[in-house]
A and B are shown apart, each in its own frame.
Chain A
Amino acid sequence: MESDIILRVNGREWPLRVDTRTTLLDALRERLGVTSPKKGCDHGQCGACTVLLDGRRINGCLVLAVACDGSEVVTAEGLGTDGELHPVQQAFVDHDGFQCGYCTPGQVCSAVGMLEEVAAGWPSAAGRPVADTPVLDDAEIRERMSGNLCRCGAYANIVTAVRAAKEVSR
């Protein structure tokens, strides 16, 4: 079964006919050639496909493209470009928050989404009472970034990068 949808990706509008089984991730990568979100597990277990869907971080592999008709999708390549990197991207470069780079666009989108969540007062499982205003210390960064796996083991530098980006954006 196929459906006609319109996806807005990184500011550009794409009319698209999709197999209703197609995930947002596959639509981006295989139909639109937008390969900044990566496929690491296709099951929402690794976070490599994290994108911002209408401003919130989601796993692109867990959303069907047909359900995103009219939605705004921002991927890592929509956040910044070489020469004009987003502060989170610049911090990842400065602090070597990656090695192979495959989980990195997802980490970057996740960090951007996460900083918004903290600013909006969303609680986490890091241990504070949920009614408290969250304070983004390292333990909170680690907890809130734990949905994005990195097999190269760059976590220590990712935390440093996110902390630095937070300070820049302040």
Chain B
Amino acid sequence: MSGLLENTSTRAIGADIGRVDGPAKVTGTATYAFEHQLNAPAYLHPIQATVVRGRVREFDTRDAEAVPGVLTVLTHDNAARLADIGDAELAVLQSDEVAHRGQVIGAVLAETPEAARQAVRLVRVHYEERSHDVRFSAARTDLYTPGEAEDDEQGDLAGAMASAPVTVDHTYTTPMEHNNPMEPHSTIAVWEDAGLTLYESTQGVHSVRSTMAELFGLDPERVRVIAPHVGGGFGSKGPLHPPVVLAALAARLLPGRPVKLALTRQQMFDLVGYRSPTIQRVRLAAEPDGRLTGIGIDVTAQTARFKEFLEQAGKPTEVMYAAPNRRITHRLAALDVAPPTWMRAPGECPGMFGPEVAMDELAVACGVDPVELRVRNEPGTEPASGRPFSSRNLVACLREGARRFGWQDRDPEPRRRMEDGWLVGTGVAASTYPTGQMPGSVAAVRFEDGHYHVRIGAADIGTGAWTVLTQIAADALGVPVTAVRLRIGDSSLPSASLAGGSTGTVSWGSTIVAAAQAFRERHGTAPADGAEARAGLPDNPNRERYAMHAFGAQFAEVRVHADTGEVRVPRLLGVFAAGRIVNPRTARSQFIGGMTMGLSMALHEDSVVDPRFGCVVNHDLAEYHIAANADVVDLQAHWIDEADPYVNPLGAKGIGEIGIVGTAAAIVNAAYHATGVRVRELPMTLEHFLA
């Protein structure tokens, strides 16, 4: 497995190359879903439920239909019947039932966006309303254990807690958060005799194709999905959500005409998922020197009553620290809400908040430096599974981060530094993210007109796939990057797995390596024009034998204003161990991007649900705050050289998500050091310091 690329003269991998799609993006000429220029499009605007639970008794569409330019009003009465594929979220307009506020119950199709929008406001809907329940709490009596996460117990945590000289037992919470990629979820759907064409903002054209084909009872060959550029996703554009189904239903009523649907920013808070809030009881049992004898996390998350999704926040506790006694549990509250979904580092991101703040509390309780505490609890093998790590360099990240950050001079006492009215402190937390690989990718290599045309239906959602896959192909073929012509983002290309779980580069890249090898084996180094070969992603038997994860350490400096409680983060420094770095420029962007979103999570993000109305009330970017430019001051990402011979032929680990893991904990820990106030809930806002 190891070093398949060592034999070639590696020139492109590791090179600091600018994005191949850079000029198109800075001039705004890269084409996103809604921007494909098609003839005479019609515009679709959704009608959303204004009750939380119940059924639609009647639509009164007379005034809406009278608006000039309105083509049709789409409801469950005239929508096509879809196949039941076992995903209730996608059963769009299949019944009169309302399962959450904001659910799509219809849509208006019109000649212009203005007419569609005006008409939606004129549709009168009469409901039969039922009582609802959206209150998320760990004290609910109807919490249940999801099938995918049985309780995981090793040893006896309760016994360890009872006998340990030092314990930490606190509850930490993270709020509901919305992905909010800058490009709203958008679709252009064209229904023709030949089939359905979708210009879609998605993290995976092939998964959209297969799911839509199944829903609409079409041969997958008759569905084509096109997404050359995608304006961010962070998970919400991974699984399908109702809008793409709605657009296809509307296009079916208007054969031959393109139907355009772009969600408004407000609709993004109702229809495309979110990160579940979590409540985490974390328990640590330790010796006086900080060595853990027990570690436990009991997670409560929410799901929709009509579709289950589990935010698996207990996962990192399987990986992080040695302790003979361990307990990891998950409970779900099923509510009358829209289904949660993946959001950047689902599981790991919220699941490293509670435990990493708890580790800081343990460091304080034991009088041990928080870097040293983590080093002392470094496991030899993956704690929950006992498998060896393919590589694990958390300690190296902590040491290198401490050196770069200037940690050694830190006075551990809180509330010791005051500068110009600001209390100043520093904190640390660890990061981790699994190194996955998704099956199902195929790549094709063809030599034509002096170029190697490499084709795979991958997606670039901002990760740099256009660039790094070109680099990987160049080295795998042993040619300069200028000899490679890459095509991605179209389901007419060979199948590719999703851009998700930080698996894109490694899954697609390993597939391209296999296809390049197949090409060279068949056609040699002087191929004829038209020579072609393809290959699928090979199995990696090492995946059974080894635990594979990336690790990191994040250091934060926080200032809290002594009078106003205002919180600023003047410094944030991360060091990561993530295998081979394919392109330092795009990799650094991935890390700092994750850390910036982590800073945003620490200080700002909070989707506020009004239990009376069942919806997110701060549903726009003026009220749902995300980090702005002025929030980010000195932010640095570094990495250590890490050779991992087992993970994949590239020796690379996924890096799109680890940057957000641990950031919020490092910031909260720094705020404790600055002020002596321990914050156990996010976001950390000024009222925490004014009590």
A residues at B contact (CB < 8 Å):
19, 21-22, 26, 29-30, 33, 35-43, 45-46, 48, 75-77, 79-83, 85, 89-90, 92-94, 96, 98-105, 108, 141-143, 145-146, 148-159
B27 touches A19 (CB 8 A): no
A102 touches B183 (CB 8 A): yes
Other 12 A-B pairs with CB < 8 A, given A37-B28, A43-B620, A148-B629: A36-B28, A43-B265, A81-B27, A82-B27, A93-B23, A100-B230, A105-B28, A108-B28, A149-B621, A151-B180, A151-B626, A156-B596
B28 touches A45 (CB 8 A): no
**Does chain A have a CB within 8 A of B632?**
yes
Chain B residue numbers with a CB within 8 Å of A152 are 182, 232, 462, 589, 593
Q: Which residue of B lies closest to A158 (CB)?
A: B629
Taking A29-B35, A45-B265 as contacts, is the C-beta distance between A76 and B28 under 8 angstroms?
yes
Chain B residue numbers with a CB within 8 Å of A41 are 265, 620-621
Chain B residue numbers with a CB within 8 Å of A105 are 25-28
Chain B residue numbers with a CB within 8 Å of A100 are 181-183, 229-232, 461-462
B620 touches A40 (CB 8 A): no
Complexed CA–CA distance, A135 and B626 (Å): 27
Complexed CA–CA distance, A81 and B27 (Å): 6
* Contact mask for chain B residues 1-43; partner A; CB cutoff 8 A; 1 contact, 0 none: 0000000000000000011011111111111101101000000
**Does chain A have a CB within 8 A of B585?**
yes
Most B-side CB within 10 Å, residue of A21, A45, A155, A157: A155
Taking A46-B621, A153-B593 as contacts, is the C-beta distance between A77 and B27 under 8 angstroms?
yes
**Does chain A have a CB within 8 A of B586?**
yes
B231 touches A101 (CB 8 A): yes
Partner of A99, one of B26, B114, B589, B620: B589
Taking A94-B18, A143-B630 as contacts, is the C-beta distance between A38 and B589 under 8 angstroms?
no
Complexed CA–CA distance, A33 and B463 (Å): 27
Chain B residue numbers with a CB within 8 Å of A156 are 592, 596, 632, 635
Complexed CA–CA distance, A159 and B628 (Å): 12
**Does chain A have a CB within 8 A of B112?**
yes
A153 touches B594 (CB 8 A): yes
Q: Which residue of A lies closest to B634 (CB)?
A: A156
Q: Which A-B residue pairs are the 8 nearest by beta carbons?
A: A36-B28, A153-B596, A100-B462, A102-B231, A101-B25, A105-B28, A99-B462, A153-B593
Chain B residue numbers with a CB within 8 Å of A146 are 628-630
B residues at A contact (CB < 8 Å):
18-19, 21-32, 34-35, 37, 112-114, 180-184, 229-232, 234, 262, 264-265, 461-464, 585-586, 588-590, 592-597, 600, 620-622, 626-633, 635
B32 touches A38 (CB 8 A): yes
Complexed CA–CA distance, A75 and B462 (Å): 22
Q: Which residue of A lies closest to B118 (CB)?
A: A21
Chain A residue numbers with a CB within 8 Å of B590 are 99
Chain B residue numbers with a CB within 8 Å of A108 are 26, 28
Taking A39-B262, A146-B630, A153-B593 as contacts, is the C-beta distance between A26 and B113 under 8 angstroms?
yes
Chain A residue numbers with a CB within 8 Å of B35 are 29, 35
Distance in Å from the Cβ of B224 to the closest Cβ of chain A? 21
A153 touches B21 (CB 8 A): no
B112 touches A40 (CB 8 A): no
B621 touches A45 (CB 8 A): yes
Partner of B28, one of A77, A141, A149, A158: A77
Complexed CA–CA distance, A141 and B633 (Å): 11
Chain A interface SS verdict (over half):
loop
Partner of A153, one of B23, B265, B592: B592
Chain B residue numbers with a CB within 8 Å of A40 are 182-184, 265, 621
Q: Which residue of A lies closest to B659 (CB)?
A: A153
Distance in Å from the Cβ of A65 to the closest Cβ of chain B? 11
Chain A residue numbers with a CB within 8 Å of B463 are 99
Chain A residue numbers with a CB within 8 Å of B462 are 98-101, 152
Partner of A96, one of B18, B113, B265, B461: B18
Q: Which residue of B lies closest to A34 (CB)?
A: B28
Complexed CA–CA distance, A136 and B32 (Å): 33
A85 touches B26 (CB 8 A): yes
Q: Which residue of A lies closest to B16 (CB)?
A: A96
Chain B residue numbers with a CB within 8 Å of A29 are 34-35
Partner of B629, one of A101, A151, A159: A159
Complexed CA–CA distance, A112 and B597 (Å): 26
Q: Which residue of A lies closest to B572 (CB)?
A: A156
Chain B residue numbers with a CB within 8 Å of A82 are 23-24, 27, 29
Complexed CA–CA distance, A75 and B265 (Å): 22
B27 touches A149 (CB 8 A): no
Distance in Å from the Cβ of B665 to the closest Cβ of chain A? 18
A102 touches B26 (CB 8 A): no
Distance in Å from the Cβ of B36 to the closest Cβ of chain A? 9
Distance in Å from the Cβ of B464 to the closest Cβ of chain A? 7
A101 touches B464 (CB 8 A): no
A154 touches B593 (CB 8 A): yes
A80 touches B27 (CB 8 A): yes
Distance in Å from the Cβ of B181 to the closest Cβ of chain A? 6
Most A-side CB within 10 Å, residue of B113, B231, B600: B231
Chain B residue numbers with a CB within 8 Å of A79 are 27
A93 touches B183 (CB 8 A): no
Partner of B27, one of A85, A102, A148: A85
Complexed CA–CA distance, A7 and B31 (Å): 23
A89 touches B184 (CB 8 A): no
Partner of B182, one of A42, A48, A81, A158: A48
Taking A93-B22, A103-B182 as contacts, is the C-beta distance between A155 and B632 under 8 angstroms?
yes
B183 touches A42 (CB 8 A): no
Chain A residue numbers with a CB within 8 Å of B231 are 38, 100-102
Chain A residue numbers with a CB within 8 Å of B628 are 146, 149, 155
Q: Which residue of B lies closest to A101 (CB)?
A: B25
Distance in Å from the Cβ of A66 to the closest Cβ of chain B? 12
Most A-side CB within 10 Å, residue of B25, B26, B27, B593: B26
Most B-side CB within 10 Å, residue of A41, A75, A77: A41
A101 touches B585 (CB 8 A): no
Q: Which residue of A lies closest to B27 (CB)?
A: A77
Distance in Å from the Cβ of A50 to the closest Cβ of chain B? 11
Distance in Å from the Cβ of A45 to the closest Cβ of chain B? 4
Complexed CA–CA distance, A41 and B269 (Å): 12
A157 touches B589 (CB 8 A): yes
A98 touches B25 (CB 8 A): yes
B26 touches A93 (CB 8 A): yes
Taking A36-B28, A36-B29 as contacts, is the C-beta distance between A153 and B182 under 8 angstroms?
no
Complexed CA–CA distance, A90 and B22 (Å): 9
Taking A39-B262, A100-B182, A156-B632 as contacts, is the C-beta distance between A30 and B28 under 8 angstroms?
no
Chain A residue numbers with a CB within 8 Å of B632 are 142, 153, 155-156
